């Protein structure tokens, strides 16, 4: 917290010094340029031997303006510096005042220049003539407009650190106080509008002053080039740089990297774009998180199927292989084992089940307490579901035997089933219903008493590839609960 406060103090000092340098530099430079133009136009000399009064008054106005501008700017900044130094987020009113800093700086500069223009214009008219007053007002007015415009553009750049935090509290929305069009108009006025107006006023009658117009025109051209370059650079920094960062962020999102964020440091349409990109990235992150959770609950294949085809009470009949896993004597196990320990053992069992099934393209359809139903052939079709299911059954059996924590039975059966969504429009579950599933569950019950702990129906082993079928041997015909006829079964060989 202390480091943050120290950092904020440094930023405030840097921002304050930037505003001070901006106010002082723009005022001095603007005053100097105006004074030079007045000399070139011969306006001080046109008022006679009392021109020194005009010069002395102008110097006094500049000094007073510098002092008043410094104090005024410091008063405006003090409301922002408090929350910034303390490292706390600003209130909405404080954020609103912070976002107005560039406009307020321009208002300060414009007010001081307006006062100076009025005073010197009236004085020139009193000491000289009406033409002298018009010339004085024109030159000082154009200089003031240039200074105010540059002050506004530069203040936006200097105030960026403060505006970034303020925009977190008060993001750009509704009617925007600043627009890109405003900046373009100000830049055009500085780069071409004001200098060209000055050229027209000097080159066309009536003549303003008795000085060398050629020198004044050259001076205006130089000023136009310099101010145009500065204003264009400030515009590029205010518009092009944020757009470049937005493009980089969108490229990252297009490549699948949603963990991006753009600093919202602009109160114009660009700030809206920055906010929208952040909202887009946040929405995509939330979608990815929901997709991940969805996939963990129902399986990646089911999640992909639901996202591709939508959620509906529909499905189709598939030829699948069902694999059922159930823990032996789970009731007694739950009685003598603490719940936390039992959950740990079951999680390790299911981890082995998921690993074996996923590795062979199957789907762990559901966990039922201490049992699991696995499907091969739905929703993703497999070229050889029986072989994959038999190999998974042996892998699960071997993995559980290695840990020695639990005993289980595994049943495998094949046949046509309904595979699809089951439930209501508000609560759906992807499942499979058919005789093959029931047969796998019945085989699991009997497999608990078989040394290999695995039983498969004849249909599964007959459809498997010879390489996998070689790991299985006939077990005999068994009467399954709920059936009238005996079912031929196979069991995994002792050395499988």
Task: Kindly give the confidence (pLDDT) of every residue in the chain, 496 residues in length, as a single tens digit, with 9 standing for 90 and above.
Answer: 444 444 445 555 555 555 555 555 555 555 555 555 455 445 555 445 555 566 666 667 666 666 776 677 667 766 666 666 666 777 777 777 777 778 887 887 778 777 777 777 777 776 666 666 776 777 777 777 777 777 777 777 777 777 777 777 777 776 666 777 877 888 777 777 767 676 666 666 555 555 556 666 676 677 777 777 877 887 787 788 888 888 898 898 888 888 888 888 777 788 888 888 888 888 888 877 766 665 555 556 655 655 565 555 467 888 999 999 999 988 888 888 888 899 999 999 999 999 999 999 898 888 888 899 999 998 888 889 999 999 999 999 999 988 888 999 999 999 999 888 777 766 777 788 999 999 999 999 999 999 999 999 999 999 999 999 999 999 988 888 877 788 899 999 865 5
Residue range 311-492, CATH number? 3.30.70.1230
Instruction: Single out the residue of 474, 471, 445, 470 nearest to residue 457, CA to CA.
Output: 474
Q: Tell me, what's the pLDDT at 184?
A: 81
Q: Tell me, what's the pLDDT at 82?
A: 65
Look at the block and give the residue holding tokens 């027209």: 200
Look at the block and give the residue holding tokens 């800093």: 101
Q: Tell me, what's the pLDDT at 26?
A: 54
Q: Tell me, what's the pLDDT at 474?
A: 93
The ranges assigned to domains in the chain are: 1-255, 311-492
Q: Could you tell me which residues come within 8 angstroms of residue 329 by beta carbon, excluding any fewer than 6 positions away?
A: 407
Largest CA distance in the chain: 130
Instruction: Single out the residue of 163, 365, 190 nearest to residue 271, CA to CA.
Output: 163
Query: Dihedral of CA 55/57/58/64: which sign?
Result: positive
């Amino acid at each position: 917290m202390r480091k943050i406060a120290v950092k904020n103090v440094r930023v405030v000092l840097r921002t304050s010094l930037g505003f001070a340098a901006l106010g002082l530099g723009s005022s001095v430079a603007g005053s100097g340029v105006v004074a030079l133009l007045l000399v070139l136009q011969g306006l001080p000399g046109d008022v006679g031997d009392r021109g020194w009064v005009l010069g002395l008054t102008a110097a006094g106005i500049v000094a007073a303006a510098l002092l008043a501008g410094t104090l005024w700017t410091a008063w405006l900044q003090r409301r922002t510096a408090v929350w910034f130094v303390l490292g706390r987020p600003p209130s909405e009113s404080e954020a609103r005042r912070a976002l107005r800093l560039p406009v307020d700086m321009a208002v300060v500069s414009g007010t001081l220049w307006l006062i100076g223009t009025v005073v010197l214009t009236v004085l020139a008219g009193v000491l000289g003539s009406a033409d002298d007053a018009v010339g004085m007002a024109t030159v000082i007015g154009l200089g003031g407009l240039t200074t105010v415009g540059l002050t506004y553009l530069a203040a936006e750049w200097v105030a960026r650190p403060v505006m970034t935090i303020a925009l977190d509290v008060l993001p750009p929305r509704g009617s925007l106080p600043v627009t890109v069009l405003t900046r373009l108009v100000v830049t055009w006025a500085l780069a071409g509008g004001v200098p060209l107006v000055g050229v027209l006023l000097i080159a066309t009658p009536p003549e303003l002053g008795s000085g060398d117009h050629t020198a004044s025109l050259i001076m205006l051209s130089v000023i136009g080039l310099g101010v145009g370059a500065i204003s264009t650079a400030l515009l590029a920094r205010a518009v092009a740089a944020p757009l470049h960062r937005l493009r980089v962020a969108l490229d990252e999102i297009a490549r699948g990297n949603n963990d991006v964020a753009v600093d919202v440091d602009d109160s114009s349409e660009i700030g809206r774009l920055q906010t929208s990109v952040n909202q887009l990235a946040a929405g995509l992150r939330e979608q990815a998180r929901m997709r991940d959770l969805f996939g963990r609950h129902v399986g990646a294949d089911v999640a992909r199927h639901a996202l591709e085809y939508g959620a509906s009470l529909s499905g189709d009949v598939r030829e699948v292989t069902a694999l059922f896993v159930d823990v032996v004597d789970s009731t007694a196990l739950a009685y003598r084992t603490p719940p936390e320990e039992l959950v740990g053992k079951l999680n390790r069992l299911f981890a082995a089940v998921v690993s074996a099934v996923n590795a062979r393209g199957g789907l762990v359809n559901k966990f039922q307490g201490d049992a699991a139903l696995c499907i091969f052939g739905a929703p993703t079709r497999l070229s050889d579901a029986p072989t994959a299911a038999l190999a998974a059954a042996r892998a699960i059996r071997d993995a559980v035997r290695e840990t020695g924590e639990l005993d289980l039975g595994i049943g495998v059966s094949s046949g046509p089933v309904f595979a699809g969504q089951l439930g209501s429009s508000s609560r759906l579950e992807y499942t499979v219903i058919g005789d093959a599933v029931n047969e796998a569950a019945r085989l699991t019950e009997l497999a608990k008493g078989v040394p290999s702990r695995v039983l498969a129906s004849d249909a599964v082993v007959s459809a498997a590839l010879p390489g996998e079928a070689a790991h299985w041997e006939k077990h005999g015909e068994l009467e399954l609960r709920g059936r009238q006829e005996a079912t031929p079964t196979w069991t995994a060989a002792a050395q499988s």
